[in-house]
Structure 1
Amino acid sequence: MESRRASAQLMATDVHTPPGTGVNSVRPPGPIYLDHHATTPCDPRVARAMLPYLEEQFGNPGSRLHAYGWEAERAVDEARARVAALLGAEPDEVVFTSGATESNNLALLGILQACRQPRRHVVTTAIEHKSVLEPARWLERQGCEVTVLRVPSDGRVLAEHVRAALRPHTVLVSVMHANNETGVINDVAGIGQVCREHGALFHTDAAQTFGKLPLDARALGVDLLSLSGHKVYAPKGIGALYVGPRAAHGRLAPLLLGGGQEGGLRAGTLPVHQLAALGRACEIAGAEMHAEGARLLRLRTRLLTSLRERISGLHVTGSLDHRLAGNLHLGFEDVDGEVLIERLQHHVAFSTGSACMSTSLHPSHVLLALGVSEDLANASLRLGLGRFTTEEQVDAAAEHIVRAVEGAHLPSPC
């Protein structure tokens, strides 16, 4: 506990300018931050967009009788349009929420609660985020049939896997766009086509791909899509659910009542400052996505090459061919996971699984679902590179990881 407190005291801010961006960002002089799948720092350009709505423009967008409300409503409309543009959607198809967890719950629970079929069936996968798996389990307890698909060792869900699980009364399929641990990108377009042919609605959790990959909800065949602001360099506490035409018009029941906001699908006063930030984050992502992805891929290749040259028994979890550019998920043979974490955590900020489950002593449910042994799962690291990651940081992180693995090797059996 004392060592964690000491590390936390190092997190005073410093100014850092990432190469090629011309953007000043706040970077702590503590551990090298490689945990961008858990959360991203708020881009300074995004933070600046938020400030007017924390200060002079503090109105409620529901106040229609004066200029404060008008300006707040204008800011909300602009943010909605920017989110929609990044999704290839219409603004009125974007429902603002507190983040991807709420969006996932609204998608699953809202669709199934509104459905009046006597038999209802849901298909999802064993590698989904808990905010999909837990609602699915709750629905199962309420009498809904739920199929949880096994996933091959490469971590990629294909259309054929979903097709084999569909039933005449399948209402909803929920498969994430890219996994939050392995970074593997699923065949969402193929799955969407299968769902359309069958007549089932299709939901995807795109928290890890929104703002990082080009998205077109209609082309992908997606009916519901969850996203989160804090995964795209906006603040925590804001997100959205895309609700396409097939999921609208009474097919989605709200979880929150009492205000009528968001077309009656999500009651509550809208946080204008967070929406202004999300809108600006979308604008930046749209302009910089391709260059940023190429840069992250170069950095990831540099990091993986360095580690492979120096560490034996290194495993990459999941497909490298279908993967988020900034993701690297590694397992180390014959390494004590607890010692590895202890030796590395003061030098590199990383994860051993989903950020929502990172305090758990149990191995990742995603890794176990992919057939990874418990020992290897416990000696695994998720590394997430981001917008402000530099070559110098990647090289330094590689050095720290090599040393940590060397110091955590289990003794050879006699």
Structure 2
Amino acid sequence: MKIAYFDNNATTRIDDLVLEAMLPYLKEQYGNASSVQHKLGRQGSHAVEHARIQVAELIHANPKEITFTSGSTEAINTVLRGISKSYRTIGNRILTCGTEHKAVLTTCEQLTKEGMAIDLLKVNGLGEIDLQALEDAIGPETVLVCLMAANNETGVIHPLQEIAEICQRKGVLFFCDATQWIGKLPLNVEETPIDILCLSAHKMHGPKGIGALYIRRKSKPIQIPALISGGKQEHGLRGGTYPVHQIVGLGEAAHQAQQKFEIATLRDYFEAELLKAVEESSIPTKGANRLPNTSNVLIKHVKTAELMTKLPQVAFSSGSACVSGDRDPSHVLKAMGYSAEDAYCSMRFSFSKYTDREEVDSAIQQLKEAVAAIRAHSPIWEMYKDGLI
């Protein structure tokens, strides 16, 4: 039986055209892109620069503003640690949010041990920030605002244009983790004045282990020192041998991502059918502005970890793939005001251009049966039904 795959916010299937573009750089054109003294090296170098143009075109940036990384986690560490180091004489505060990715929150926590102060914005029950609270929280010591474009667990979108304009008025840098946004929705950095942005290829049908960091070119350059030092690759910002095949894959994935595809209709169909099929199920962020591919589902008194063991043919997650091995409940749902009990019962279904209706129907039927089987042996569910809890 085919596995119904609904974990596309964790990673996506590689696009056939992306794989096809990559293969020559693993076989015939395998030269080191820094060895430009010979033809094979120059072929690699040209491929890297072509991919840089493709990534820049996707977000309407200048190719010189694009730096290749191993992915968003590296980019986040580069930016947060780099800004903390370079701007310490200006201020020692970073403003972020309690629903950010763990790569941000964990790095910020570590930076507090080095003298940085981290201010956390709160969210409402839908996972949305208050723009006035954001503006009020930016003080004279704030050097960076770090807010994601769209939440990886719930799909809730932050108002990037308004955030960027507030940061401009306040004279602070705006760093946006756009990992979940890029490839699903358009973004134009010429129109939306984001200063720094990161993305990963494997979230948009590219290969794992490659991403990009956008740093806006300004009259007063943004100072971010290298996290990984080595040779002079990437103008000294990111040392190491170029993984040409992965960079080519990122470039082609960025090129393919410019093609529009409709996914919200299927996502909405899934939610409507699930709510009809499973008693006491809900979509916590249904009323929020969300990514078109993401559903965060809460099924009352059915722990996601238990449900997953009964659904081996359905691939979904209990939240972020980066923390799904943790026993703690979703920090995102808790920040939204949900109890730990409910947060343990939340799960993420994320769709892609390869998801079809047959998969959706199959997953809903299997979910319905699995939930019924769990509840049939649950004293807590019986007490809930009897109004005792």
Q: Structure 1-normalised TM-score?
A: 0.89
Identity of aligned residues (%): 39
Selected match of 2:350 from 381, 384, 393: 384
Tell whether the 8 Å contact from 1:158 to 1:190 is kept in structure 2 after alignment.
Answer: no
Selected match of 1:398 from 360, 364, 379: 364
Cα deviation, 1:204-231, whole Å, max 9, x if unaligned, reads 1011011111111232221110100110
- Which residue matches 1:169? 141
**247 and 350 in structure 1: CA distance in 2 versus 1, 3 angstrom threshold:** farther
Over 6 Å off, 4+ runs: none
In the alignment, is residue 299 of structure 1 matched against residue 250 of structure 2? no
Selected match of 2:281 from 290, 314, 325: 314
- Which residue matches 1:361? 327
Q: Aligned partners of 1:336, 1:203: CA distance in 2, in Å?
A: 35
Cα deviation, 1:126-158, whole Å, max 9, x if unaligned, reads 011111111111221111121011111111224
Unaligned runs of 5+ in 2: none
Cα deviation, 1:260-313, whole Å, max 9, x if unaligned, reads 111111111111001111111111110x23xx1x2x111111111111112221
In the alignment, is residue 335 of structure 1 matched against residue 302 of structure 2? yes
Cα deviation, 1:16-71, whole Å, max 9, x if unaligned, reads xxxxxxxxxxxxx5421100000001111110100000001011111121111111
Selected match of 1:88 from 55, 60, 65: 60
The one-letter amino acid paired with 1:73 is S
* Structure 1 residue 161 displacement after superposition: 2.9
The one-letter amino acid paired with 2:226 is P
Where do residues 5-84 of structure 1 align in structure 2 (5 Å cutoff)?
A: 29-84=1-56
Q: Count the aligned residue pairs.
A: 380
* Structure 1 residue 380 displacement after superposition: 1.4
Q: RMSD in angstroms over aligned alpha carbons?
A: 1.5
The one-letter amino acid paired with 1:132 is V
In the alignment, is residue 263 of structure 1 matched against residue 235 of structure 2? yes
Cα deviation, 1:299-357, whole Å, max 9, x if unaligned, reads 1111111111122211212244411111110001132444322222x021000011011
* 3-state SS of paired residue (1:218): coil
Cα deviation, 1:227-280, whole Å, max 9, x if unaligned, reads 001101011000011001249736111111121111111111111001111111
Where do residues 217-296 of structure 1 align in structure 2 (5 Å cutoff)?
A: 217-246=189-218, 249=221, 251-286=223-258, 288-289=259-260, 292=261, 294=262, 296=263
**115 and 312 in structure 1: CA distance in 2 versus 1, 3 angstrom threshold:** same
Cα deviation, 1:148-173, whole Å, max 9, x if unaligned, reads 11111111224323112110121000
* 3-state SS of paired residue (1:257): coil
The one-letter amino acid paired with 1:408 is I
Unaligned runs of 5+ in 1: 1-28
